[in-house]
A and B are shown apart, each in its own frame.
Chain A
Amino acid sequence: MSTVAAVANPTGDEWKQPSRGMVGMACLIAAESAIFVIFVVAYIYYTGKSLSGPTPREVLNLPIFSTICLLSSSITVHFAVHELQGSRIGRFIAWLASTVLLGGIFIASTALEWYELIYHDGLTIRTNLFGTTFYSLVGLHASHVIAGLIMLGLALIFALQGKVNAHHTERFEVLSVYWHFVDAVWVVVFTVVYVLGR
């Protein structure tokens, strides 16, 4: 009984291939990036082309605090991965919880910003081109943040139930890569919408 293919030159014992989850996540990120690129291009293309007000300069304020929260959540999730790898579950839960909290603050302040814009400044998605592009770009990003928060939240619940251990490091790392991606997108969105677009 021989193996399927005759082994003329037996390969070394080591047969390493990339992690399945990481490759999948990289592909997902490539596809998502393409979606964001199209929305960012539309935003830039339509900057200053609105036929009526309000304009970004009139109504947008720099969301410095929520940006700091979101970006620092990238650091906390990184620490969480590190702690999980070392099987320090208590610290892992702490870092994970702070990540969820920081992400939650970001979403809450976005919601507040939108509330202000809609009820105070009268800017809706129908108002003008700025409204259309602003809400769809920021909303697309926010929906990704929410998706990430749901997954991180589930991980937190499982961790609190004591069902997470170091064996899950790889899966959690894949999730953390997604979270880093969401943060990186925010840097682009922030620059385009709040810095260049004003």
Chain B
Amino acid sequence: MATHTSAAAVAGLPQTMRRPGGVLSVVQEWVTTVDHKKIGLMYIGYALIFLVIAGAEALLMRVQLAVPNNHFVSPQVFNRLFTMHGTTMVFFVGMPILFGFGNYLVPLMIGARDMAFPRLNSFSFWISAFGGVLLYFSYFAGSGLYGAGTAPDVGWFAYAPLTSKVFSPGHSTDYWTLSVLLSGVGSIGTALNIVATALTMRCKGMKLSRMPLLVWIYVVMSGIAFVAVSPLTAAQIMLVIDRYLGGHFFDTQAGGSAVLWMHFFWIFGHPEVYILVLPAFGFANEIIPVFSRKAIFGYPAMVAASVGIAFVSLGVWAHHMFTVGMGPDANAFFTFSTMVVAVPTGIKIFNWLATIWGGNIRFATPMIFSIGFLFQFLIAGLTGVMLAVSPFDWQLGNSYFVVAHFHYVLVGAILFMIFAAFYYWYPKITGRMLSEKLGKWHFWLLVFGFHMTFDFMHVPGLLGMPRRVYTYEADRGWGDWNMIVSIGAIFQTISVLVFVYNLVRSYYKGEIAGPDPWDAWTLEWSTSSPPPSYNFAELPTVSSRRPLWDLKHPDDPDSNYE
């Protein structure tokens, strides 16, 4: 036990500014802010809005597919739905929500007062946000301001030559390209900021070997972003040159190559999966030890595994292209490299298990989400290894089996850990606890709905149902499976509604959290909840990986063990 002073905002500071008729001043405050916490919150809030939009799109698709020969939406609308759903979820939900948490947590965890480049931080957020707005503006003005509004309909990976002017006239594809380009600029900016913050703003005593694993993982994730998001930006520039200036990069009539686009896209596309999943690992690295009451097992191995994943992930992209016909050598290489990813990932899973093993486990909501993550991520990894075998992939490439596999990763692993992170850090962000009771409802409804949807989605895939079909005949035998999948989607929707209700209700009525509700060990819990705009009145000094453990147990500090 120890006492120390910190500081909280005095009345009149931004967080508590509530002047009469102050709507404008509140808007002004959020628009002009360069505070990493507010920018992080704006990232998270805007991602949540897009999560609801893209989730509604998914729901519409599930309604359409629930029964055979359905005419709930037209084929054109369906194409737009899956394009917008994919693009939104990856670029305007996944990336921003994770960057939001990174923005909020990285400076707090390393004992800094702000990001290294606070204004660049604000710029990166706004340009990604405007990118999302531009994408959805296409619904009103897709073919140009005076044409009928149409959203992009070329799929989220927008294969050439479908994106050429001939096959995709009007501006709908341009909306896709340009908004993704904008979001890419924002991603690079934030990634740069995170690396610079973690490397140059650490508080005294926080050596790289003492940095919280979450911060380490954000550095690695940002590193991948530099080498993976930039190629996408380059490819989008090429597509813009093709569409606007009449270039021939992907114009097969003039000797251009459609396969080159696939390579460029997946050089981004696969590492992108790791950009999304690594922060999920980071959340698990923080949450699992705290709720197992043990220090993380194998800290150096965890760091090494993260870096290993980053490197391997850059050499696996063409496993998305087994069906293109790359030849046996390329297929063998990418099969092998893909399987090698399983090694560092396996190390991580074993380390989490070793952390839980023998611990004094508290099954609070963040922990049960983490445990769900462990199980589901394992299954997602196993179907991933199956798909990595190229002959198997030839059979099931672009089927619902693939859709089920990657949703298992994106929902079963990443979304579950994002929810865990919400339950874990919400008290820090707002000063109030989320309701545990609603949290458990949220968890079990989501687990039930998730497994109903995505476990059973593998089956129509195995039965040959291709992805992106807008409907199917009754005699295919896919109908019952699709009905189950669609019913599961309803349960997931309800669980998300419970979550949103919990977020709102707990903000006003939640139990007061205090600075350290989970008895945790990293620096963000040493300041008040919510933290003042300057985070720490006095910059902390640390001497181990768990500074708050040292503070609470001065007789047995961690520094003796590292």
Touch test A–B (CB under 8 Å): yes
- With an 8 A cutoff between CB atoms, is A2 at the interface? yes
Q: Can you name 6 extra interface pairs (CB under 8 A) apart from A8-B554, A19-B200?
A: A23-B196, A33-B230, A34-B228, A35-B233, A42-B238, A129-B254
Interface segment out of the listed A43-51, A114-122, A180-188:
A43-51
Closest Cβ of chain A to B16, distance in Å, is: 23
- With an 8 A cutoff between CB atoms, is A32 at the interface? yes
CA distance A24 to B117 in the complex (A): 9
Closest Cβ of chain A to B516, distance in Å, is: 12
User: Are B196 and A42 in contact (CB-based, < 8 A)?
Assistant: no
B interface footprint on A1-40 (CB within 8 Å = 1, 0 otherwise): 1111111111100010111100110011011111101110
Q: What residue in chain B is nearest A49 (Cβ atoms)?
A: B255
| 27 sample A-B contacts, Cβ–Cβ < 8 Å, listed by A number | A4-B6, A4-B527, A4-B536, A5-B523, A6-B543, A7-B205, A8-B550, A17-B199, A19-B200, A23-B195, A23-B199, A24-B117, A27-B192, A27-B196, A31-B192, A31-B229, A34-B226, A34-B234, A38-B231, A45-B260, A46-B255, A46-B256, A46-B257, A50-B255, A128-B248, A133-B249, A136-B241
- With an 8 A cutoff between CB atoms, is B245 at the interface? yes
Query: Among the listed A11, A27, A35, A50, which residue makes an inter-chain contact with B541, where contact means beta carbons less than 8 Å apart?
Result: A11
A interface footprint on B263-276 (CB within 8 Å = 1, 0 otherwise): 01001000000000
- Contact A129:B248 (CB < 8 A) given known A1-B4, A30-B226, A38-B264: yes
Q: What residue in chain A is nearest B205 (Cβ atoms)?
A: A11
Query: Using a CB–CB distance below 8 Å, which chain B residues touch chain A?
Result: 2-6, 111, 116-117, 188, 191-193, 195-196, 199-202, 204-205, 222-223, 225-231, 233-235, 237-238, 241-242, 245-249, 254-257, 260, 264, 267, 523, 526-527, 536, 538, 540-544, 547-548, 550-551, 554, 557, 559-560
Query: Among the listed B231, B544, B559, which residue makes an inter-chain contact with A35, where contact means beta carbons less than 8 Å apart?
Result: B231
Report which residue of A5, A11, A28 has the largest number of chain B beta carbons within 10 angstroms of its beta carbon.
Answer: A5
Query: Among the listed A6, A10, A132, which residue makes an inter-chain contact with B247, where contact means beta carbons less than 8 Å apart?
Result: A132
User: Are A132 and B249 in contact (CB-based, < 8 A)?
Assistant: yes
Q: Residues of B contacting A50 with CB < 8 Å?
A: 254-255
Closest Cβ of chain B to A104, distance in Å, is: 25
Query: Using a CB–CB distance below 8 Å, which chain A residues touch chain B?
Result: 1-11, 15, 17-20, 23-24, 27-28, 30-35, 37-39, 42, 45-46, 49-51, 125-126, 128-129, 132-133, 136, 140
Query: Among the listed B196, B227, B234, B559, which residue makes an inter-chain contact with A39, where contact means beta carbons less than 8 Å apart?
Result: B234
Q: Residues of A contacting B205 with CB < 8 Å?
A: 5, 7, 11, 15
Closest Cβ of chain B to A43, distance in Å, is: 10
Q: Residues of A contacting B222 with CB < 8 Å?
A: 27
Q: Residues of A contacting B249 with CB < 8 Å?
A: 42, 132-133, 136
Closest 3 CB pairs of A and B: A4-B540, A34-B230, A5-B547
Query: Among the listed B2, B202, B560, which residue makes an inter-chain contact with A17, where contact means beta carbons less than 8 Å apart?
Result: B202
User: Are B523 and A6 in contact (CB-based, < 8 A)?
Assistant: no
CA distance A5 to B6 in the complex (A): 12
CA distance A49 to B248 in the complex (A): 11
Report which residue of A18, A23, A132 has the largest number of chain B beta carbons within 10 angstroms of its beta carbon.
Answer: A132
User: Are B256 and A3 in contact (CB-based, < 8 A)?
Assistant: no
Closest Cβ of chain A to B496, distance in Å, is: 34
Q: Residues of B contacting A1 with CB < 8 Å?
A: 4-5
Closest Cβ of chain A to B189, distance in Å, is: 9
- Contact A27:B248 (CB < 8 A) given known A42-B260, A45-B260: no
Q: Residues of A contacting B188 with CB < 8 Å?
A: 31
User: Are B526 and A5 in contact (CB-based, < 8 A)?
Assistant: yes
User: Are A129 and B199 in contact (CB-based, < 8 A)?
Assistant: no
Report which residue of A8, A17, A50 has the largest number of chain B beta carbons within 10 angstroms of its beta carbon.
Answer: A8
